Amino acid sequence: MSERKVLNKYYPPDFDPSKIPRMKLEKNRQYTVRLMAPFNMRCATCGEYIYKGKKFNARKEDVENEDYLGIRIYRFYIKCTRCLQEISFKTDPKNTDYEIEAGATRNFMALKLAEEQAKREEEEQKEEEANNPMKLLEYRTEQSRQEIELLESLEELKELNRRQRTVDYEGMLKQFQPETAEQRKAREEQEDNEFIKSVKFNNPSKHKVVAEEIIEDVNEDYEPIAKSIKTEVPAPKPVVAKKEAWNKSIGVISKKTPLANLVRSKKTETNTSVSEKEVQGSSNGSNSGKDSAQAKPSGLSLLADYSGSDSDS
């Protein structure tokens, strides 16, 4: 099986190219090519703008009886994208550009016109210098005067920089001299001192003094005593109030009559009177140690209570 895209064909040994019939083509035949618009243009019929780089299926032909230094000039035909009006333009090898012929107008291109004008002025100046020696002399004189002015301004700038510049020769010499051991030691100590000053230590004097409440439970008969101790702590701590919980659960106990509402007295029984005196004695004993002997009941007092209870009944 032969290849699909081959460049070399097989020619038999008895091949004679003169026997191949030649086709008779037109002298100025047109070819269909694919191209892009070489510049911005506007259709002369409908006013549609055709921008540079837009692709067209164009017809190409040779321009008859026109060439530039033996270079062929080609003409292209395209159609407007809106009204299908035919637009023609041709190549311009002299200016390395394209030239519009019919069907559209080329848009204004400031950069291209400026380049063309600068080129035209340069050509005119060269031609004038070649024909008029006085103009050439004037041009050279003007050019030399401009060069002198530039050199003078450059010298002024150098002199100004020289005045403002101050060179520290001692500093430059110290910079390139080797450092001694004493200088190195002094420099290291200075760096250490600066580092210590830059470090921020925590100041204990800035700590807040908070009064912490400590609750101690001594006995059930006494009210809890709160002591306030000043301690230095970095941050305040929450204090649990046990006093309020104590008062809510049991009730407030007065110092004058402890357990007065909890004991009921009975006159009919002798044990009740004895118990009242024992309770009173215990309460007085808790308040002061001197009245403990008076609170103890004796035998005569018990007998009197017993007889009193019988008489009442």
- Burial class of residue 89 in the structure, from the number of CB atoms within 10 Å of its CB (0-12 exposed, 13-18 middle, 19+ buried): buried
Residue 9 is inside which H or E element, if any? none
pLDDT at residue 225 greater than cutoff 70:
no
Q: Where are the alpha helices (DSSP H) in 11-132?
A: 110-131
pLDDT at residue 228 greater than cutoff 50:
no
**pLDDT recorded at residue 255:** 47
pLDDT at residue 308 greater than cutoff 80:
no
DSSP string, 188-249: HHHHHHHHHHHS-PPPGGGSPEEEEEEEE---SSSPPEEEEEEEE-SS--PPP-HHHHHHHH
- Burial class of residue 276 in the structure, from the number of CB atoms within 10 Å of its CB (0-12 exposed, 13-18 middle, 19+ buried): middle
**17-65 pLDDT per residue, tens:** 999 888 887 888 899 999 999 999 999 999 999 999 999 999 999 998 8
Backbone dihedral region for residue 84 (phi beyond 0: left; psi -120 to 50: alpha; all else: beta): left
**pLDDT recorded at residue 227:** 46
**123-170 pLDDT per residue, tens:** 988 888 888 888 888 888 999 999 999 999 999 999 888 887 777 777
**pLDDT recorded at residue 214:** 67
Find all residues with CB under 8 Å of 215, minimum gap 6, and list them: 224, 225, 226, 242, 243
Q: Taking residues 220-239, report their average pLDDT.
A: 50
**CA 292 and chain centroid, separation:** 85
**pLDDT recorded at residue 133:** 85
Residue 177 is inside which H or E element, if any? none
CA 23/CA 44 separation, integer angstroms? 40
**pLDDT recorded at residue 23:** 83
The two tokens of residue 35 are 């191209």
Percent of the chain at pLDDT above 90? 31
Backbone dihedral region for residue 230 (phi beyond 0: left; psi -120 to 50: alpha; all else: beta): beta
pLDDT at residue 269 greater than cutoff 60:
no
pLDDT at residue 99 greater than cutoff 70:
yes
Q: Taking residues 304-311, report their average pLDDT.
A: 50
**What mean pLDDT, rounded, does the chain reach?**
75
Find all residues with CB under 8 Å of 232, minimum gap 6, and list them: 204, 207, 209
Q: Taking residues 270-292, report their average pLDDT.
A: 51
- pTM above 0.85? no
Q: Taking residues 200-207, report their average pLDDT.
A: 60
Q: Which residues in 46-74 are b (16+ Cβ under 10 Å) and which e? A: eeeebeeeeebebbebbeeeeeeeeeebe
Q: How many residues does the chain have?
A: 313
Task: Kindly report the backbone phi and psi dihedral angles of residue 201, in degrees, each rounded to the nearest multiple of 5, phi listed first.
Answer: -90, 155
pLDDT higher for 106 or 25? Answer: 106
